[in-house]
Structure 1
């Protein structure tokens, strides 16, 4: 059992180092080992057990662990797509938030798990929720990490392009200020530009995405933004 939990534990440690303090927390090895019932079945990917438990103990479908995670959250962290489908069919609520206010969509987005994200969205989970203590969105979280493919999926699912979180940052701004200016974040910025994200929304200090990219020496991003802004101004869009 322990060997099956180690990859998830490593992923949790990586996520913790990549995100700001207070970011989402996957079940630890100890927590997962202590799981019973529906949470245990969801975490280990036992879809048959989840189906049996849903019929015998319907109350357990949206039960919470000590961190407020439902079986769906556990399955999303573990990438257990068969279980996610069974839980949805059994009536699990797809948009519940755990204690740090993350939903299953944001969990999959942060993990860069496009397959799990696609399944959740196809089952009716929303890309529009306000999540996290930062009052952000899955799109902002994915842009921060440079998960360009996930960003495109979320945009296609109607994620709010220009939502401003309580740090006064949009997805566009986070792709710059929390990115490294490299190919992944450039591709993320390109996706946001192509989708029509507002490039003039400034941070709380009045700095626009272009000014932020320029101040960081992100020449490629600066060029992308200058080109997009010039095109929009010339066309009146």
Structure 2
């Protein structure tokens, strides 16, 4: 095929893409995000119709910003947010850029979502705020940031657990989780709030031989 014909075909494809904001975004913007091509994203977002469709979603309901968050493409996430991407737009399983940033430890992206209207009360498919999985994973800086933003440390998810419960039950009780526990307590977490089975945090820590975690809870007035 001659270069001339190839050029004409390429132009035709681009013209068709530009004729539909959704098609353009899905086939070009999402692909650029997936590849981490910041320059390409910048080029695409320079088109007004692309900016208008920046929150279009793929077949799983994931927006370009949500994909950028999962892949931790910080520069691309910043570009998308500046172009008007919704930090609270959820996919088919109720994940949003804000919630995923907290749950996956995407600190820089989380900061951006908090500055751009993150819904602190929004919950994931387990009924948990961004704080709960952050505590589970022992993301100290994420937990500190979310607490400073005002996320409720005593929110209970569908499993009957708060962030404090998950920091104990789903961890090894190591240094990071110990610091998370201190932060939660300082922020007002209820150290005597039982789980759905009526077991209190101190008993949960002792059951798992988490000596340091148990000591922190005892010093905060926890009862077995």
The TM-score normalised by the length of structure 1 is 0.76
CA RMSD of aligned residues (A): 1.7
Confirm whether residue 51 of structure 1 aligns to residue 51 of structure 2.
no
More displaced, 86-95 or 156-165? 86-95
Q: 2-side partners of 1:126 and 1:80: how far apart?
A: 21
Confirm whether residue 172 of structure 1 aligns to residue 159 of structure 2.
no
Aligned pairs, how many?
194
Q: 2-side partners of 1:150 and 1:207: how far apart?
A: 27
Deviations 1:84-142 (A, max 9, x none): 222222222110111111111221222222122112212222333112x2111110010
When Rg is computed on C-alpha atoms for both structures, the one with the higher figure is 2
Confirm whether residue 206 of structure 1 aligns to residue 198 of structure 2.
yes
Please, which runs of 5 or more residues in structure 1 have no aligned partner? 1-34, 231-237
Within 5 Å, give how 1:115-194 maps onto structure 2: 115-131=108-124, 133-194=125-186
- Following superposition, the deviation at residue 83 of structure 1 comes to 2.3
Mapped contact 1:175–1:185 kept (Cα < 8 A): yes
- Following superposition, the deviation at residue 63 of structure 1 comes to 1.1
Q: Which runs of 4+ in 1 moved over 4 A?
A: none
The TM-score normalised by the length of structure 2 is 0.80
Partner of 2:17: none
Q: 2-side partners of 1:50 and 1:229: how far apart?
A: 56
- Following superposition, the deviation at residue 45 of structure 1 comes to 4.1
- Following superposition, the deviation at residue 50 of structure 1 comes to 4.0
Deviations 1:48-79 (A, max 9, x none): 134224x1234531111121110110111122
SS in 1 for 2:53: helix
Please, which runs of 5 or more residues in structure 2 have no aligned partner? 1-25
- Following superposition, the deviation at residue 163 of structure 1 comes to 0.7
